[in-house]
């Protein structure tokens, strides 16, 4: 079986640091009785690839290791479901309500494509001893937080968690089969849109090295899977509920005085229903509020705003945001949807340093969880005690807040499907 060869310019120093980390990982896990590799909720291809790779790596380091691959939430997108079925059918779904009961059975947890202080994984709502969170491998910007894994490898400059796992696999000199290569390749491809966004040399190395080892038939089965009818119904719903808002032109926005930063008093008033939030999080609030400040950047062209009132799966919002961003002259695509008892937010932009993650965090505030990169971000607002009508009202209420952040006026909106629309 082939091995991955590290990039030519990979320094001896970096290599020995990596070897040390793998050595630590091996000794920290050596006598655990029940290990969980945990992906973030609603895992995407990068999370599935990184989770599967870490599971294989641990099996390689510790033969016979008692290890489970798992996630919360739901794998929705047809490509992602197919990937999970073909590559990691053994992965278990741990429904959020059962997490408090299920997680204590594991005496070691390792996070991939997320980190302890992020709000998008099962540990968030559960009291789990942090000294048993052994490792977090992530490429999302770190939050200023005391909550850390014992080994924390967070590199926000990297395009995909799968890239980091490729590095681990290479350093450990673990043989790699076509299944693992295909998973990692597709994870990187999906997160970096084929190396076209948020990419560094290490991503290019991993992508090009893995490409030679890919099972092309398997990859094609994933990428060109047949789509269920509800996918098309979802697109139709989204199109009918998409508005285009014209961005003010440059002369109107000079100074940008009225684009005031987050209104803190408003956020404070809104409060939170989420009594499960960790006390630690509360303590860090002051700190995090500062971090959540977002410098408004007026948009260019149009903002596309889609409301998905009844989503059949939580990742429909990100799928639609990806699609809407491809529309010409659209610089921001925002999808706001309702899935079960929560609002799901997905934001995409083609402005490379747009701080989309911060923008979503500044809007969600204490009412939910949010995160992301410069050009793609997401958030959740839980409304457990709200009626369906209240959820719809809350969804509508988000629209002007996003437009305000982008300096686009609500009055300048036109339905996408209106023939008179621009
Ligand atoms: Mn990722």
In the reported structure, the alpha carbon of residue 187 is separated from the centroid of ligand 1 by a whole-number distance in angstroms of: 8
Mean pLDDT of the 63-82 span: 96
* Tokens at 287, concatenated: 């700190």
In the reported structure, the alpha carbon of residue 138 is separated from the centroid of ligand 1 by a whole-number distance in angstroms of: 7
DSSP 3-state of 66: coil
In the reported structure, the alpha carbon of residue 219 is separated from the centroid of ligand 1 by a whole-number distance in angstroms of: 18
CB 196 within 8 A of CB 59: no
Burial class (CB in 10 A: 0-12, 13-18, 19+), 205: buried
Q: Where does the pLDDT of residue 14 fall: very low under 50, low under 70, confident under 90, or very high at 90 and above?
A: very high
The radius of gyration computed from the CA coordinates of the chain, to the nearest angstrom, equals: 21
CB 378 within 8 A of CB 317: yes
Question: Does residue 273 or residue 124 have the better pLDDT?
Answer: 124
Portion of the chain with pLDDT greater than 90, in percent: 75
In the reported structure, the alpha carbon of residue 159 is separated from the centroid of ligand 1 by a whole-number distance in angstroms of: 7
Q: What pLDDT, on the 0 to 100 scale, is given for residue 262?
A: 39
The C-alpha torsion from 395 through 197 and 17 to 124, rounded to 10°, is 10
In the reported structure, the alpha carbon of residue 75 is separated from the centroid of ligand 1 by a whole-number distance in angstroms of: 14
Q: Where does the pLDDT of residue 410 fall: very low under 50, low under 70, confident under 90, or very high at 90 and above?
A: confident
CB 7 within 8 A of CB 201: yes
In the reported structure, the alpha carbon of residue 50 is separated from the centroid of ligand 1 by a whole-number distance in angstroms of: 9
The number of beta carbons lying within 10 Å of the beta carbon of residue 163 is 28
In the reported structure, the alpha carbon of residue 346 is separated from the centroid of ligand 1 by a whole-number distance in angstroms of: 15
Give pLDDT tens digits for 354-398.
889 999 999 999 889 898 888 889 999 999 899 999 999 999 999
Mean pLDDT of the 282-302 span: 59
Residue 273 has pLDDT above 50, yes or no: no
Q: Residue holding tokens 């490509």?
A: 79
In the reported structure, the alpha carbon of residue 45 is separated from the centroid of ligand 1 by a whole-number distance in angstroms of: 8
Residue 86 has pLDDT above 60, yes or no: yes
In the reported structure, the alpha carbon of residue 393 is separated from the centroid of ligand 1 by a whole-number distance in angstroms of: 32
Nearest alpha-carbon partner for 395 in 343, 322, 355, 348 = 343
CB 392 within 8 A of CB 310: no
| Backbone CA torsion sign across 28, 141, 122, 276 | positive
Residue 181 has pLDDT above 60, yes or no: yes
In angstroms, the CA 100 to CA 78 distance is 29
CA distances from 126 to 98, 171, 266 (A): 10, 34, 29
Query: In terms of residues, how long is the chain?
Result: 422
Mean pLDDT of the 245-266 span: 50
In angstroms, the CA 379 to CA 38 distance is 19
Residue 251 has pLDDT above 70, yes or no: no
In the reported structure, the alpha carbon of residue 86 is separated from the centroid of ligand 1 by a whole-number distance in angstroms of: 20
Nearest alpha-carbon partner for 362 in 413, 290, 416, 421 = 290
In the reported structure, the alpha carbon of residue 271 is separated from the centroid of ligand 1 by a whole-number distance in angstroms of: 30
In angstroms, the CA 348 to CA 357 distance is 10
* Tokens at 208, concatenated: 């090009």
Strand pairing class (242-246; 302-308): antiparallel
Domain 12-223 has CATH 3.90.1640.10: yes
In the reported structure, the alpha carbon of residue 232 is separated from the centroid of ligand 1 by a whole-number distance in angstroms of: 26
In the reported structure, the alpha carbon of residue 189 is separated from the centroid of ligand 1 by a whole-number distance in angstroms of: 10
Helices 201-211, 178-192: crossing angle, 10 deg rounding: 140
DSSP 93-128: E--HHHHHHHGGG-SEEEEESS-TTSSSSGGGGS--
CATH T-level assignment (fold) for domain 231-415: Diaminopimelate Epimerase; Chain A, domain 1 (3.10.310)
Choose the weakest-confidence range: 74-78, 160-164, 247-251, 258-262.
258-262
CA distances from 214 to 52, 219, 410 (A): 15, 7, 47
In the reported structure, the alpha carbon of residue 373 is separated from the centroid of ligand 1 by a whole-number distance in angstroms of: 10
Residue 141 has pLDDT above 70, yes or no: yes
Give pLDDT tens digits for 340-349.
999 999 999 9
Domain with CATH 3.10.310.40 in the chain: 231-415
Domain with CATH 3.90.1640.10 in the chain: 12-223
DSSP 3-state of 416: coil
Give, as one character, the DSSP assignment of residue 407.
T
In the reported structure, the alpha carbon of residue 305 is separated from the centroid of ligand 1 by a whole-number distance in angstroms of: 24
In the reported structure, the alpha carbon of residue 195 is separated from the centroid of ligand 1 by a whole-number distance in angstroms of: 13
Q: Residue holding tokens 């609030």?
A: 285
* Tokens at 41, concatenated: 């909720």
**Sheet harboring 376-382: ordered strands across?**
368-372, 376-382, 342-349, 330-339, 302-308, 242-246, 413-415
In angstroms, the CA 158 to CA 152 distance is 15
Q: What pLDDT, on the 0 to 100 scale, is given for residue 248?
A: 84
In the reported structure, the alpha carbon of residue 34 is separated from the centroid of ligand 1 by a whole-number distance in angstroms of: 25
Nearest alpha-carbon partner for 195 in 151, 161, 160, 167 = 160
In the reported structure, the alpha carbon of residue 277 is separated from the centroid of ligand 1 by a whole-number distance in angstroms of: 24
């Amino acid at each position: 079986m082939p091995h991955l060869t590290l990039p030519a310019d990979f320094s001896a120093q970096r290599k020995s640091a990596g070897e040390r980390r793998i050595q630590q990982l091996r000794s920290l896990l050596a006598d655990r009785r029940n290990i969980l590799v945990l992906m973030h909720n609603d895992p995407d291809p990068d999370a599935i690839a990184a989770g599967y790779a870490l599971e294989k790596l641990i099996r390689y380091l510790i033969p016979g290791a008692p290890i489970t691959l798992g996630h919360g939430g739901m794998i929705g997108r047809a490509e992602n479901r197919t990937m999970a079925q073909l590559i990691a059918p053994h992965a278990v779904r741990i429904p959020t309500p059962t997490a408090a009961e299920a997680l204590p059975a594991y005496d070691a947890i390792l996070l991939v494509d997320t980190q302890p202080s992020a709000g998008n994984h099962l540990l968030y709502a559960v009291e789990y001893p942090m000294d048993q969170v052994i490792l977090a491998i992530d490429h999302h910007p770190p939050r200023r937080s005391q909550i850390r894994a014992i080994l924390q490898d967070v590199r926000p400059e990297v395009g995909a968690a799968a890239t980091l796992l490729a590095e681990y696999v290479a350093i450990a000199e673990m043989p790699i089969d076509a299944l693992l290569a295909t998973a990692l390749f597709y994870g990187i491809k999906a997160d970096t849109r084929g190396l076209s966004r948020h990419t560094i040399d290490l991503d290019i190395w991993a992508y090009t090295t893995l490409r030679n080892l890919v099972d092309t038939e398997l990859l094609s089965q994933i990428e060109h899977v047949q789509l269920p009818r509800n996918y098309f119904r979802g697109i139709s719903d989204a199109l009918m509920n998409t508005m285009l808002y014209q961005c003010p032109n440059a002369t109107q926005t000079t100074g940008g005085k009225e684009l005031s930063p987050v209104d803190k008093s408003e956020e404070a008033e809104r409060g939170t229903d989420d009594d499960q939030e960790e006390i630690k999080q509360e303590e860090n609030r002051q700190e995090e509020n500062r971090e959540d400040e977002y410098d408004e950047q007026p948009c260019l062209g149009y903002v596309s705003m889609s409301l998905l009132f009844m989503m059949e799966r939580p990742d429909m919002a990100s799928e639609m945001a990806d699609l809407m961003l491809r529309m010409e002259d659209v610089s921001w695509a925002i999808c706001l949807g309702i899935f079960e008892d929560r609002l799901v937010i997905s934001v995409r932009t083609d402005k490379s340093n747009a701080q989309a993650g911060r923008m979503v965090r500044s809007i969600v505030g204490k009412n939910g969880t949010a995160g992301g990169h410069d050009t793609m971000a997401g958030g959740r607002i839980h409304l457990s005690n709200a009626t369906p009508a209240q959820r719809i009202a809350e969804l509508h209420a988000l629209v002007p807040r996003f437009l305000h952040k982008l300096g686009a006026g609500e009055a300048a909106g036109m339905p996408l499907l209106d023939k008179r629309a621009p």
